[in-house]
Amino acid sequence: MKKITLVEDDQRLAELVQKFLQQNNFSVNVINRGDQAVDYVLNNNPDLLILDIMLPHMDGFSICRRIRTEYKNPILFLTAKDSDFDHVLGLEMGADDYIIKPIEPHVLLARINTLFRRVNTISKHAKLVFGKLTIDKKARVVSYEDQQVDLTSHEFDLLWLLAENAGEIQSRDYIHQKMIGREYDGLDRSVDVKISRLRKKLFDNPQSPFRIMTIWGKGYLFCSTAWS
């Protein structure tokens, strides 16, 4: 049974979400205060974290910032703020997806299942090597020049998607469908934000990327010869 931690200060909403997810075979722990979430998540490592933004004592952004270097599993932001700034900020901090209140329970369930399916469908016995870059799918570890690269679960999956198709252009629509689990609407910047974060961690040039290249009007391309 997958373990989910829900950090939400609206107790009625938290109880409704907890009951709904338990009915769908998830184990759900609820935390109502932001300042209690960091230690719990790092000590218990739930399979998924659902994180509200507006919380007492510590907001969701601060929690995400504090845990993201150690917590590798998916983070789903739950927010009443219909603001592009909030969504992009959350993604830049390492969130995997977000959903806007009021919550449609079956939409929430679909997003959760998509996040779990993305991780579970990955091959467990594969390794890709490009010069000094090694991507170990079974261990879910990336190293460059024998130093481990600190990636979130979502960043690892995005890198694998690009690397296993090295030399082939992957469209934003295709990446969005594979990584987010729904069609690209022309406005969602989540793929762009994730690509930007991945480039920084892989020492790519943000002004003129040469490792994960932007092919204007077409998509992104992983260059297999840029890792020597």
Indicate which CATH number applies to the domain containing 65.
Answer: 3.40.50.2300
Q: What is the token pair recorded at 13?
A: 């909403």
Binning pLDDT at 50, 70 and 90, where does residue 122 land?
low
Crossing angle for the helix pair 84-92 and 190-201, to the nearest 10 degrees? 30
Q: pLDDT tens digits, residue range 81-91?
A: 666 557 677 77
Question: Given this model, what pLDDT does residue 93 score?
Answer: 81
Rounded to whole angstroms, how far apart are CA atoms 81 and 100? 7
What is the arithmetic mean of pLDDT over 206-227? 93
The domain boundary residue, chosen from 93, 120, 147: 120
Rounded to whole angstroms, how far apart are CA atoms 66 and 199? 21
Q: pLDDT tens digits, residue range 187-196?
A: 677 888 889 9
Q: pLDDT tens digits, residue range 29-54?
A: 999 999 999 999 999 999 999 999 99
Binning pLDDT at 50, 70 and 90, where does residue 154 land?
confident
**Considering the domain boundaries, does residue 193 fall inside one?**
yes
Contact 155, 215 (CB under 8 A): no
The domain boundary residue, chosen from 101, 120, 139: 120
Rounded to whole angstroms, how far apart are CA atoms 15 and 21? 10
Contact 220, 212 (CB under 8 A): yes
Q: Which domain holds residue 207?
A: 127-222
Question: Given this model, what pLDDT does residue 61 score?
Answer: 92
Question: Given this model, what pLDDT does residue 30 score?
Answer: 97
Find all residues with CB under 8 Å of 71, minimum gap 6, and list them: 41, 42, 45, 49
Rounded to whole angstroms, how far apart are CA atoms 128 and 126? 7
